[in-house]
Amino acid sequence: MLLAIETSCDDTAACLYWQGQIYAHVVYRQALHAEYGGVIPEWASREHEGRLPIAVQEVLSQAGLTWRDLRAVAAAQGPGLLGSLLIGSTFARALAAAWRLPFIGVNHLEAHVASLELGEQPVAYPLLVLVATGGHTHLFRVTHPLGLELVGRTRDDAVGEAFDKVAAALGLPYPGGPHIEALARQGDPRRLSFPFPRTDQPYDFSFSGLKTAFLRAREQGHALPDLCASWQHSVFAYLTQKLLEAARALGLRRVGLVGGVAANQYFRNYLLTQAQATNVEVWLAPLAYCMDNAAMIAVAGWHALLTGRYTSLTESPFARS
Ligand code: KG4
Ligand code: ZN
């Protein structure tokens, strides 16, 4: 069994995995940040420290196994919050040292991309994948699960961060994305229109202007559901247009969507419709594995294990991509 651990931000997760199958998976979503509009790093580390040993015990007992059944330990090494990463990575490296198992440090963004392999439809490579999370908005040309080439990235806020900041300004709990989506469901996505931001590089993104435009429209007194629906529509139309344009420019007829923001149902449907119209095939991360989880760490770790790509126990986690 491969034991995988995820503690990059505010989710504490552990998974047991072998050869395409999840044997046990536990995700503890830290609730204590909800009322503060964002993650408080020091608290997140504290919570990981308390929860992670319990999560690991829980997956072993769910699967009816012991540490003697383990063949390798994988953990997220970055990017993310350094204090949070240190808890998971140091815990994993200590287990690997004590049990004499190989350790695999997993890149959190590679893991989000690998979450596509948890879906039912086998992934055909190469494809262009949009990683849309609270910390990142990156476009990668992916040639195999661990072969990522950066095509574009946000110049300022990540798309999930824009959702979280807009929600915080409205007094909604963190993470804000699901709350904005819920309000949007009652509104008209065509009531208002927000211009697409411009960037120097054609496949880079920018979200800070869209975030400000939302707050300005709010001051003008537009109904909140219409505002959320129209804003969310503009954000996703912008992302979809860039994704499909970049795919065409690179000669790719396959795209993927992963990360917490990929849990948005409007986005999923919109991308599917637009891609279908241009004959592009779409892979969506399964809903259960969009937000941070340890199953995606396991899949990326599995590919590293297969190719013997182990990580030294002295290698430290890193905060930035
Ligand atoms: O991938 P993830 O769990 O963590 C990071 O790696 O950052 O993504 C979390 C982000 C948050 O910003 C959250 O607001 C956003 O994903 N999110 C959503 C939705 N569900 C989560 N954004 C829009 N619509 C959603 N339904
Ligand atoms: Zn993530």
pLDDT tens by residue, 46-59 = 999 999 999 999 99
pLDDT tens by residue, 202-232 = 999 999 999 999 999 999 999 999 999 999 9
Say which DSSP state 294 is in. S
Q: What is the pTM of this model?
A: 0.97
* CA 59 to centroid of chain Cα atoms: 22
* CATH number, domain 120-284, options 3.30.420.40, 3.40.50.720, 2.60.120.560, 3.30.530.20: 3.30.420.40
What distance in Å separates the CA atoms of residue 279 and residue 265, rounded to the nearest whole number?
Answer: 21
pLDDT band for 300, please (50, 70, 90 cuts): very high
Task: Give residue limits of the domains in the chain.
Answer: 2-112+291-306, 120-284
189 Cβ below 6 A of ligand 1: no
Atom 23, ligand 1: residue with shortest CA distance: 177
Distance 257 CA to ligand 1 centre (A): 13
Consecutive H or E run containing 105: strand 103-107
**Omega before 126 cis (within 30°)?**
yes
Q: Do domains 2-112+291-306 and 120-284 have the same CATH topology?
A: yes
- By C-alpha distance, which of 37, 56, 57, 46 is closest to 83? 46
9 Cβ below 6 A of ligand 1: yes
Nearest-atom number in ligand 1 for the CA of 163 is 14
For residue 274, give every residue at least 6 positions away whose Cβ sits within 8 Å of its Cβ, in sequence order, or none: 240, 244
Output the six-digit token pair for 262: 């990929």
pLDDT value at 99 more than 90: yes
Output the six-digit token pair for 199: 């960037």
38 Cβ below 6 A of ligand 1: no
User: Considering the domain 2-112+291-306 in this protein, what is its CATH number?
Assistant: 3.30.420.40
Atom 6, ligand 1: residue with shortest CA distance: 133
176 Cβ below 6 A of ligand 1: yes
Average pLDDT for 55-71: 98
